[in-house]
Amino acid sequence: MKTLRTRSDLRAALGSMGAGVEVGLVPTMGALHAGHLALLEAARAECDLVVASIFVNPTQFGPGEDFETYPRDEKSDARTAKAAGVDYLFVPPVKEMYPDGFQTWVEVERLSQGLEDDARPGHLRGVATVCLKLFNLVRPRRAYFGQKDAQQSAVVEQLVRDLDLDVQIRVVPTVRDEDGLAADRVALSTEPRLPPEDVGLARFNGRLHLVAAARVGRTRLIDNVLLEGELA
């Protein structure tokens, strides 16, 4: 596995690949866990070459969320990525992705409304923008996202359709502990340290989800259960 930190190095590395090589992209913000491993394993099984990105994207942080204290452990993440079969690990600094003078943003209008956008204004605009940049840099055949972030996955799917991008979005089922996660307001309300912010039904790109969100300190935790439809 090779770690790359600049857009030019990434393009040069991928440009040396022969024709017909199918690239899989797994975008992450690091702090890799079992859910990320499921994405990496799916990419490794389906693609010739796997690129994983670790970029704590400042534009995904809403008001009151502390970008500076987001967990970062590049050495541990690199070990995890290497063990999962990643070929290239892209770890750019913020100024590499948002150089001085950056002023272009991508916004998926209707799908970005409500839920995460209400709680974290601008979050999904940041997701859409950085994903489009990564798609343009990596030119993957497939990109992998987790079901847990249902609204985010739907936004990225819509982005790909609307802008005619030649990439298949794969949504991988959520990895859970044996006891799963309760997702109804009554159960959440019995825990005083975990007051629910959102519990309800949401339909994204034809898929019906039971969604829930709660906040621990300044961290917003989200989950969902797919009730109707199929993952991409």
User: Domains of the chain: which residue ranges?
Assistant: 2-176
Better-scored residue on pLDDT, 46 or 16: 46
How far from 105 is each of 41, 98, 135, 149, CA to CA, in Å?
31, 11, 15, 21
Burial class (CB in 10 A: 0-12, 13-18, 19+), 101: exposed
Q: What is the mean pLDDT of residues 137-162?
A: 93
pLDDT beyond 80 at 33: yes
Model pLDDT, residue 186? 42
pLDDT beyond 80 at 198: no
Q: Which of 89-103, 118-132, 209-223 shows the lowest mean pLDDT across its residues?
A: 209-223
How far is residue 148's CA from residue 175's CA, in Å, rounded to a whole number?
Answer: 9
Active-site residues, by number, are 36
Q: State the angle between helix axes of 150-162 and 123-138 in degrees (0 to 180), rounded to the nearest 10.
A: 50
Model pLDDT, residue 130? 98
How far is residue 6's CA from residue 13's CA, in Å, rounded to a whole number?
Answer: 11
> Model's pTM, two decimal places?
0.81
Angle in degrees, CA 95, 96, 98, rounded to 5: 55
For tokens 């994903």, the residue is 131
pLDDT beyond 70 at 21: yes
What is the rounded average pLDDT for all residues in the chain?
Answer: 85
Better-scored residue on pLDDT, 130 or 207: 130
- Kindly report the number of other CB atoms within 10 A of residue 157's CB atom: 20
Task: Tell me the HSE value of 159 on the side-chain side, using a 13 A CA sphere.
Answer: 28
Long-range own/partner contacts, residues 96-102 (CB < 8 A, 24 or more apart): 96/5, 96/6, 96/7, 97/55, 97/57, 97/130, 97/133, 98/58, 98/59
Cβ atoms 148, 33 nearer than 8 A: no
Angle in degrees, CA 33, 228, 194, rounded to 5: 50
The pair of structure tokens assigned to 222 is 């989200």
Q: What is the mean pLDDT of residues 17-41?
A: 93
CATH topology of domain 2-176: Rossmann fold (3.40.50)
Cβ atoms 60, 71 nearer than 8 A: no
Model pLDDT, residue 13? 96
Model pLDDT, residue 204? 72
Q: What is the mean pLDDT of residues 92-120?
A: 87
Model pLDDT, residue 209? 66
DSSP 173: P
**Which H/E stretch holds residue 136?**
helix 123-138
